């Protein structure tokens, strides 16, 4: 069963627009971690953020921000004032505390930012 859902397969925006990428997860564990990875056209997955299940504080890093809501099992990612360099595939992932080592990935959202 799919444990991480990224309902948006593709999003296109024009530069300087704000964009939010949605992620909904499913787990019965009380301890877990959520991640966002970025995959630019070069192919390598770049780690962006890790959040544990006990920390629901939103986080901001430059133009990036993350909204973690346990009540809705969501971990959404917003890019403010998007730039062409933000064009990439973005993956949300779940690490369940009851498992050893493995991540469960969503299917990814292809973000294209047009100049």
Partner 1 sequence: DVKVTQSSRYLVKRTGEKVFLECVQDMDHENMFWYRQDPGLGLRLIYFSYDVKMKEKGDIPEGYSVSREKKERFSLILESASTNQTSMYLCASSPAGLSQETQYFGPGTRLLVL
Residues forming contacts to partner 1 in the complex (CB under 8 A) are 6, 9, 33, 35, 37, 42-47, 50, 91, 95, 100-103, 105-108
Least separation in angstroms between residue 77's CB and partner 1 is 16
Nearer of residues 42 and 57 to partner 1, judged by Cβ: 42
Least separation in angstroms between residue 110's CB and partner 1 is 9
Least separation in angstroms between residue 81's CB and partner 1 is 27
94 three-state secondary structure: strand
Task: Confirm if 36 and 46 have CB atoms less than 8 A apart.
Answer: no
CB burial readout 46-62, b (16+ within 10 A) else e: eeebebebeeeeeeeee
């Amino acid at each position: 069963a799919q444990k991480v859902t990224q309902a948006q397969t593709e999003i296109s925006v024009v530069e300087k627009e704000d964009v939010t990428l949605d992620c909904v997860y499913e787990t019965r564990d009380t301890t877990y971690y959520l991640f966002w990875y970025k995959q630019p056209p070069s192919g390598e997955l770049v780690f962006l953020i890790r959040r544990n299940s006990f920390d629901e504080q939103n986080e901001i890093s430059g133009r990036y921000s993350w909204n973690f809501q346990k009540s809705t099992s969501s971990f959404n990612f917003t890019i403010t004032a998007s730039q062409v360099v933000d064009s990439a595939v973005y993956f949300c992932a779940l690490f369940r505390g009851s498992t050893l080592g493995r991540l469960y990935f969503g299917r990814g959202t292809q973000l294209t930012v047009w100049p």
